[in-house]
Every structure is written in C-alpha cells, then in structure tokens.
Structure 1
Amino acid sequence: MRGELNGLKTKTLREQPCAYYVHFFAHQLQLALVVVAKKNIDIASFFTTTNSVVNHVGASCKRRDALRAQLQEELVIAFENDCLITRRGLHQETSLKHVGDTQWSSHYGTIISIISMFSYVIHVLQMITDDNPNDSAGEANKIQREMLTFEFVFHLFLMKAILGLTNDVSQELQKKDQEILNAMALVKLCKEKLHWMRNNGFDVLVDEVSSFCDKHHIDVSTMDEAFILPGRSRRNAPIKTNRHHYHV
C-alpha cells in the first residue's frame, strides 16, 4: 500500500503532493498486535509453528487433497452414526488459512482453521512421515510433535481468545462511516475485555485447553507442578510452577 517506489501512497503523492496519508484504523491495530505478539518469544515460536503447519500441509495438491479426504471421511462416518452436528457454516472449512501480517484477521482465521481441523492435520502429517522417508518427513514429524503438546494447544486457545476480541473490533473499524471518537471507544472497550480476561479468565482457558487435550490424547500439564523449560536441566531451571509460567 505505501511502498516507496510503486505503493498506492507514492503514486497518489505524485499526482497530489499535498495529500495526507493515514493508516486505516484496522490496519494500524493489526500491525500493533503483530509487533507486540512477536516480542514474546513463546508466542513468536507458536506462530512460527503455525506457519510451518500451513505451509507443510498445504505444500502440494496431494496433501491438500488428503486433508479434504480425511475431513470428508469423518463427516461420512458421523453421518452414518447419526451423530453429525449441523449448523450454519459448520463443516465448510476444507483448507488451512495462510497468515499475513498486514491482512486483517489472517492470524485469527489460521488459528480457527487449525482448531477445527486439528485431528485431520495430525493425520496428514503422520501420512507424510510414514510415506516419505526424507527431509519432508522429518519436518512433518517435528511439526506433529510440537502440535501434540499442552504448550502449543494452550497458545492456540490463548491467541484464539485474544484475537477473537480484536477481530470483533476490526469488523467495526472497517466500516466506512467509522468516526475517530467511536473507534477510540471501541479500542478502549477491547482493552478492558482483555484486562478482564487476564485477571479472571485463566482457569476457564485452562479447562478449555485441557478438554481439547483430552479429546486428542495430549498430556495435560498439572498447574501446580514445577515448569521445566524443554532442553534445560532441572538443576539450572528457574523454580516456578506451570500456573506461573502460563499465567504470567
């Protein structure tokens, strides 16, 4: 949009030197979220993994077709067993959404698609590991092991909750008749909701994460046990509980 050589801003200023450039409200908020999130090493690592998931599973038509086939197979089984849950928009997700730092809701869309197709993604990654004894299989195995951890699922649902709130704000900010005062009020309300979530929503989040982990046979971390950073010996690790690590 504002590239120095051929961006829309540059082209407009060539025609109208007095024009004033202002970031779109939603675009500004998106960029701010990305910058803040990437300052946290755990969240930065989480998004690196989600990018790897999307890129690896969607790297070829064969893998995308395998993902769709697995989804369709599960739907057929559920239908035959008369346990298919139906509602508007359900079961329409057939591919993982790519992430773009400057595309509003892209991170949120990626997270939602991974959650809704989690078991199918794991199945495709396992298929890649079993069928391709090469570097691609090694990467698939690495991604699968990272996904099947409590920490990954916790960050998955944490960012779903955070970006879910900001996504609602973004929809309002994208309205053509949005005024600056109303936009500021919306952002303030979003901040208050995030503050409440931080102070009061941890236990609810842990319950949601634990339920998801149980469903997918992932070991659940006990909040009162000591947290050990992977790759670091217990002797040199700082003493803190899982609750402190995930909450703070």
Structure 2
Amino acid sequence: MPRFYLPQPLAAGSEFNLPEAQARHVQVVRMQPGEAITLFNGEGGEYTAVITEMGKRNVAVRIASHDDAHRESPLHLTLVQVMTAADRMDYTIQKATELGVNIIQPITSQYCQQRVSGERAEKRLAHWEGVAAAAAEQCGRTRVPQILPILSLEHWLARPCAAELKLLLCPTGAVNWNSLPASADSAIMLVGPEGGFSATEDEMAIAQGYTPVVLGPRLFRAETVTPVVAGLLQARYGDF
C-alpha cells in the first residue's frame, strides 16, 4: 500500500485532494477509486485513506481510520554531522532516518568543504527535509527527523545539551565502544567531515563533555560512520 507523509492536520472522516506530488504517484501506479493508501503527518500514528475520485489533475481521498502505530525508538538520538558532498549528505540523512535518529544538526568545521549561506542554505535545508520525509515514508516511521539550520561547530558546542551520552567519533579516540555505559536514554553523535576534525576541534568537543570513541582498527568514510554508530546505539540502547 503506498504510504505518504503529509505535514497537515489529518482526522478520520476528512476529505481532501492529495498534493500534486502524491497525486502524481497514485496516478502513475494506476490506482483506482476504492483503493487505499496510508498517510501520516509526523504527529504520531498513521491513517488509512480511501481514494474517492481520480481526476486528470487531482486525486481525492477520504480518511477512513487512524492507527495508533508507534515505531519510534526509546533512545532519543541526535546526529551532529559536518556537511559533506551533496550525494553523501543525502545518504547520511536517509540512513539516519531509517535508523531512528530524531534530530539532525548539520554543521561546518575547519576541514568542511561544503559551505552555504542565505538562500542556498535554505534550499539545502528544504532538500534535506524532503530526503528525510521520503525515507520515513519508505521505512515505516510515523515521525520525521527534525533537521535544524546549519551552524558552525563552535556555535553548536556553545549550546547547552542534556544528552546522557555525547560521543565524538574520532580515529584516535581514547575510549573503545565496549567501554561505554550499559544504559542511556539519549545520545548525541558528533561526526566530522571527510578529513575529520582538527586537533583543536577535538579538544573543544572533549572540553564540552564529548567522549572520544574509536570503533576499531579501520577508518570509515564520513558517510559510513553514521549508519554504523546509529545501528550500534540502537542495538545497545534502543529497539534493535
């Protein structure tokens, strides 16, 4: 059954036309009146909607029922990711969504090769939100990760943070993964760019309570670290 994210009020019994992109998808797969689709708005649960009309330019639906589905991890997970090349950043956001990350904070750092501001930054943020929404549709999540406006590493570290576990992914990390606490309800992953963080930036993060962590003897690409660490965190503290 096709599944769509609609960031708007939804309620059983309501009728409306699908937005253009979703309507086009329904038309392309040749669905017919009487067939059902699944909708969710990120506020919890999902809705079964029945197609009531197939026009040339519109698809009308009526919401039949609400299912209080809950597929979010008990671990509240934040990803603080230095911006990488466009396709790599998209991959990171997609996999972070699939792996249950709740908040994604893009940042810049000394060795960051991707820097945008103003209108370009707004367009990039909107694009990432679309990537996260599409990933949530595909993987069955009922909430879409919040993607925050781009900050510098210094501005992020200056913000108060109450997470129980703050991890700095560092190839020279002093702490092995197996040495982390046995339980945690919230965690932050701080992931650098292709060239990693500078020594000064590592020191800044450690001074703000981040634990430098090493996963093993091999180095990971920037876009590989996030799914690996998110999976390990979900297995240790979440719902895997």
Do the two structures share a fold, i.e. TM-score over 0.5? no
| Structure with more contact order per residue of length (Cα contacts < 8 Å, sep ≥ 6) | 2
Question: Of the two, which has the highest radius of gyration?
Answer: 1
Which structure is higher in strand share?
2
The alignment's TM-score, normalised by the length of structure 2, stands at 0.28
